Structure 1
Amino acid sequence: MHKTRIFGQSHWIQGVTQCQEILRQCEPTMSKENSKAIFNLKKCKYLGKIIKEQRAPPWPTAPMSELPPKELADALVDIYLRTFECRYRVLHVPTFRRAYEALWTTEERDAEFVIQLKLVMAIGAVIYDENFSLRTSSIRWIYEAQTWAAEPDFKARLTIDFVQTNILLLLAREIIGVSGGLIWISMGELLRTAVYIGLHRDPSCLPKTSTFDSEMRRRLWNTIIEMALNTSLESGGPPLLSLHDFDTHPPGNFDDEDILAEDPTPKPDGIFTQMTIPLAFRKMFEARLAIATPLNGIGPHSSYEEVLRLDTDLRASYKNICRILQNYHSDTGHGPSPFQTQTLDFLMRRYLLALHIPFFQSSFGDTTYAFSRKVVIDTALQIWCTTNPSSGMMITRRGAQTPSEKDDLYRLTICGSGVFRLTSIQCCFLIAAELTNQLRDEDNLGSVPLRRDLLTILEDSKEWGWKCLVAGETNTKGYLMLSLMNTQIQGLMARTLDDEFPVLFMHAAEEALAKCLALFEGRVGEGDEVQMELDGINNMDFESLFGSKGGWNFMVSEPFDHSADSMYWPGNWIA
């Protein structure tokens, strides 16, 4: 199974075989005379490029001291602090808040702090409203930070402040989709910068310093190795990190105010602090690293016995964490927020998914891997319910939740880019593959028993994909494939003949892409140059439109190879 690999990503590749199969079935009906879908897809691709160009400021973008109105800035900062700062500890919140309030009362503003603040606001803007109305501003803030960080004064940047700014920049790029697929590459530079200034060594091994400085160094290193591991899993690249590369201890279980004291004592595990959730992730770090290293390495995959052992280790670690967290109560102000528990659950299940997906396709014909098939489908269902709480198919956690808190993760999947969006759509692909296999393997003449919950997710996924486009997504491929997969399942349930499917697919594609084209045309507006380009696409001959290979090869970066892992990039479908 998958013996030759240039790069990792086997857990992504098997999640999209369903899409490739559908595209192949469409090819017999493709011609210039009988399909508007082919041309509309090309138009959507062109308009999407124009929309992205309109949003992006010129490069380089000189940093500016201007900020949005304080009321808006307050809201964006609060969103960031209640979500991502609780997940990745980057800032010392009391210190940051004091500098933030002082910023509004002085005319001379520290350039680096303004950059940090704009990155904080950019991340918060993703969840600010359901349509990401501040997308253009957020992209500009990222460009300003990238321009500032690119200045060649390298030695002066080897500071804790610069590491904090770099972490925020990478988070913002990934979440907002500014070269988000290349975060793993940039993460390598940040990791090496951290090592160069000694964050990989525990402060107890260095000259004596204050508790504040020691804990901030531990927190930043903890965040960096967490991001390095997660970007590895997302990109398919190796983690480039082992447990032998550092001796920095996990941060202490302190609230931010505690480390300002002269000689504070960490709180016991039973006391909830601002570090409880990051420390929970750290407790699962070793188990997750053991999954990502062979999965994304160039050596052979783990044996199935080893996969089952890794599964057991990760579940045991997560079960212990859940037991502790269940004793906290968010309605008293001393427990995890909905966003914290949802992201913790999401991340654990994401690693389970990656661990078992390499055996998913084989499980259709070999009962040896039946456990992996069950894990993949159950995990996909749980991830979807976590990121889409309105699905009504899960029991919500106890404790009061404000409407904004309840929608934080959902808005992130709709408006943001990166792992939450990619994993959500991958779950839909996997569920579609499971339903398709059940329908095709059924050998009786009666009704086919299908799981209603899986059908509901697939039906809901099409509307979810459309909401992503309405919120500003510029790539139609995700919505198109969700539409085609729904058409396939409906056709199989209706016992449609195989030779009738290509026509059904093309009609579904025409309907989906006409809807996308109308949305994109409304965003771009009227213009002679744009109209001339669209007219030119309509007048293209068939070979020019598809290239010498023909077919739907322009839909993906590389053709899929079932015998070996290809260089297929999953983000190209929806990013």
Structure 2
Amino acid sequence: MDRDQSLSQREFSSFATRQNSVSSQRRWYDIFARCTKLQFLVYGMAHHRQDRETPWLPPEYESVRPLMDDFTRLHQLMNSNRKDRPFSICHSIGVKSSLNSSLTRALLPTRTVCNVLVGAYIKTFESVLRILHVPSFMAEYERFWEAIPSESAVNEEEEVLACKILLIVSLGACICVGSQGSTDVDELPSNFFGRASSWIAHAQHWVAQKMVTGLLADIDLAQISCLLALTKHTQHSYGLVCHPWYYDLSRLGIWLGLHREPRISFPEMPVGEAEIRRRLWATMLELSLLVCFDKGLPAALTPDSYNCEAPSSIADEDIELGLVAQCLTPSTVLGLLTRTHRIRIQILHLINAPCVSKAYDESHQLATKLNAACCANLDEVRAFSKPEPSEFQVTLLEMFTRPFVLALHAQFAEEPSNKSAYYSRRMRMEISSLLLLPFSTLPVSSTSAQHPISVDTGSTGGEKRTSTGEQAILAALRIHGHGHFALVQRQATASLCLDLVSELEENEFPTLESASRNRLRDALRGAVDIFTRRMKVTEGACSTHELVFFTSAKAYIGALQRKCTPGEAYKAITEAARRALASCCAEMERRSNDCTRWKMFEGLFGL
């Protein structure tokens, strides 16, 4: 290893020790230090400075240093600016302790726009995670708009409904930014994502007050808590206090008794109410497992902590009769997800509990079992016709389960001395490609990034969406999603980058694997495009580090496939890094100027 081209192993170990003395403080991109030609990015992002007498950057990389310094400065400035901005927005509107119809209507857009956003939520998220009884909610929703606005004291039912509407509309805004053909719906610009933060803040504040006074402890609490938890996967929460149940919805479900099977514990309970409780428990457990996975926590319960059965595939209109449908219903996907709950609880315990031995045999056994269940679930849902499953349903079924398989193999794929490392690496590439390939052909125009989906509120759930509509929904989720949706994209893309580099550097089977590598490179190209659009739509608030690392890694992979010389590879990497850094700096500079103007506005008007 040449001194002028990379860090020595001793220097890197010393740097890693200083930067990551506490494992929880490790940056996600530190894994790129495994790739010799990308180590300079890890050092640069950490704002590390080596002794000038012992340069660690080759000459080709020195031209990137000024941009990396600007990137670090702007990123730190944005972090300090955006922490207080949601509070400023909420303060300028005025967060109230009550949610009467007059206040709620003042917060919300027009009824036409709300209809589109509510319809978008019901056709997407509600078709996977069952939180509402849709006919009942829609009847209440219509009464909300038909009633005369009132600023007088309100009853709890009106406040509960207002809270649900605020959260549902904010969730719909994540995947529905407007229709190009309707003037009313064109009111949905990208700034609705900022307004959604204020809607969520009002809902959070109201729920917190009700919980302190003990006035909200029933099914409404479970539904609102699920909606709040789901917003963490669709909206940034800088400056917003996390809902107290966000990290442990399963405990809330146990407190409400939802973990008990109604048929056994409450034999006199009506069939419809029992089914709603099963749906809510399955949804709360699913969201709880996703949070534990994202935060690196063991599950808060064991596989034997509940006996509530999986929800049945019953249409909402037939819930009182308990008639199980033989076709796809909005509850079908949630029923499939519940089949893997117990094994995913075991996996979370294995990979995150500090005192558990990370033995390969047990990890391999669990990974094989879960992967088989994922394949069976996918085959089952794909077999439905009239109606066919939407790509949104299929995608979330995969995104909620496959990453657990990825996590089990990740801990062994990076151990060169481990005889099982090759298999784990191949499995990690397989899972990463499954998570990324459906998005390698998403629409790439700038128009799509700003207006990714048009929802026809008159269509029924049984109608098959057009190919363009399906792609637009998934593009919107990938571009505007946060939480688990953003984490899975980042993990899968980072794994694919590193594993492709390892495969190409070893190049053991060039003839056999050339076609599959090209396909994987297409998946990587699509992922980089998504991160580019995420960065631009948020004006540099999200995905800046991801864009720089993944763009540079893609350039290196391309150089390896073209069999470039080391000098040509260095040039390709630095040019890609320079373009990505310049693009990120331009967006962050623009957003920083906007924040400065916002603070001046606050000072002028005393907000």
| TM over 0.5, shorter chain | yes
Indicate whether 1:433 and 2:481 are aligned. Answer: no
Stretch of structure 1 that moved more, 424-433 or 142-151: 424-433
RMSD between aligned alpha carbons?
3.9
1:121 Cα offset (Å): 0.7
Distance 1:244 1:308, change over 3 A: same
Separation in structure 1 between the aligned mates of residue 26 and residue 419 of structure 2, nearest angstrom? 21
| Alignment partner, residue 314 of structure 1 | 370
| Alignment partner, residue 479 of structure 1 | 547
Separation in structure 2 between the aligned mates of residue 201 and residue 49 of structure 1, nearest angstrom? 46
- The DSSP-based 3-state class of the residue aligned with 1:274 is coil
Q: How do 1:233-244 and structure 2 match up within 5 A?
A: 233-244=293-304
Separation in structure 1 between the aligned mates of residue 593 and residue 238 of structure 2, nearest angstrom? 25
Q: How do 1:68-467 and structure 2 match up within 5 A?
A: 68-106=109-147, 107-108=149-150, 110-129=158-177, 132-151=190-209, 153-178=212-237, 186-203=245-262, 204-206=264-266, 208-260=268-320, 264-267=321-324, 270-329=326-385, 332=386, 334-362=387-415, 364=416, 366-390=418-442, 400-402=464-466, 403-442=468-507, 451-467=517-533
Q: Which amino acid aligns with 1:255?
A: A
1:259 Cα offset (Å): 2.0
Q: Which amino acid aligns with 1:401?
A: R
Separation in structure 1 between the aligned mates of residue 267 and residue 126 of structure 2, nearest angstrom? 29
1:386 Cα offset (Å): 2.8
Q: Which runs of 5+ in 1 are unaligned?
A: 393-398, 533-575
**8 Å CA contact 1:238, 1:292 repeated in 2:** yes
Separation in structure 1 between the aligned mates of residue 64 and residue 399 of structure 2, nearest angstrom? 46
- The DSSP-based 3-state class of the residue aligned with 1:104 is helix
Separation in structure 2 between the aligned mates of residue 227 and residue 180 of structure 1, nearest angstrom? 22
What TM-score does the superposition give when structure 2 sets the normalisation length? 0.75
Q: Which amino acid aligns with 2:171?
A: I
Stretch of structure 1 that moved more, 15-24 or 380-389: 15-24
1:1-47 CA deviation, whole Å, 9 max, x = no partner?
Answer: xxx99889999788655587342576634889962331233124424
1:382 Cα offset (Å): 1.4
1:454 Cα offset (Å): 2.3
1:314 Cα offset (Å): 1.7
Separation in structure 1 between the aligned mates of residue 115 and residue 332 of structure 2, nearest angstrom? 25
Distance 1:528 1:205, change over 3 A: closer
Separation in structure 2 between the aligned mates of residue 525 and residue 13 of structure 1, nearest angstrom? 28
**8 Å CA contact 1:184, 1:235 repeated in 2:** no
**8 Å CA contact 1:142, 1:173 repeated in 2:** no
Separation in structure 2 between the aligned mates of residue 531 and residue 54 of structure 1, nearest angstrom? 9
Higher relative contact order at CA 8 Å, sep ≥6: structure 1 or structure 2? Answer: 1
1:238-297 CA deviation, whole Å, 9 max, x = no partner?
Answer: 11111221222222332112123xxx24416x4322321110111122222222221111
1:304-327 CA deviation, whole Å, 9 max, x = no partner?
Answer: 222232233223323433343233
Stretch of structure 1 that moved more, 320-329 or 14-23: 14-23
1:196 Cα offset (Å): 2.0
Separation in structure 2 between the aligned mates of residue 220 and residue 444 of structure 1, nearest angstrom? 49
Paired residue for 1:40, among 60, 64, 71?
71
Indicate whether 1:489 and 2:537 are aligned. Answer: no
**8 Å CA contact 2:128, 2:334 repeated in 1:** yes
Separation in structure 2 between the aligned mates of residue 291 and residue 528 of structure 1, nearest angstrom? 46
**8 Å CA contact 1:9, 1:235 repeated in 2:** no
Separation in structure 1 between the aligned mates of residue 510 and residue 403 of structure 2, nearest angstrom? 37
1:128-151 CA deviation, whole Å, 9 max, x = no partner?
Answer: 139844111111111111111221
Q: Which amino acid aligns with 2:430?
A: D
Q: Percent identity?
A: 23
| Alignment partner, residue 61 of structure 1 | 95
Separation in structure 2 between the aligned mates of residue 5 and residue 517 of structure 1, nearest angstrom? 29
**8 Å CA contact 2:90, 2:198 repeated in 1:** no
Separation in structure 2 between the aligned mates of residue 360 and residue 326 of structure 1, nearest angstrom? 31
Separation in structure 2 between the aligned mates of residue 97 and residue 52 of structure 1, nearest angstrom? 36
1:198-237 CA deviation, whole Å, 9 max, x = no partner?
Answer: 1122223137222222222221111111111121111110
Distance 1:141 1:369, change over 3 A: same
- The DSSP-based 3-state class of the residue aligned with 1:356 is helix
- The DSSP-based 3-state class of the residue aligned with 1:138 is helix
Distance 1:48 1:138, change over 3 A: same
**8 Å CA contact 2:229, 2:287 repeated in 1:** no
1:470 Cα offset (Å): 1.9
Distance 1:430 1:153, change over 3 A: closer
1:48-85 CA deviation, whole Å, 9 max, x = no partner?
Answer: 65366545524582253222111110110011101111
Stretch of structure 1 that moved more, 417-426 or 111-120: 417-426
Distance 1:480 1:61, change over 3 A: farther
Q: Which amino acid aligns with 2:72?
A: L
Q: Which amino acid aligns with 2:192?
A: L
Stretch of structure 1 that moved more, 505-514 or 410-419: 505-514
- The DSSP-based 3-state class of the residue aligned with 2:420 is helix
Q: Which amino acid aligns with 2:39?
A: E
Indicate whether 1:517 and 2:585 are aligned. Answer: yes
**8 Å CA contact 1:360, 1:372 repeated in 2:** yes
**8 Å CA contact 1:22, 1:484 repeated in 2:** no
**8 Å CA contact 1:11, 1:358 repeated in 2:** no
| Alignment partner, residue 539 of structure 1 | none
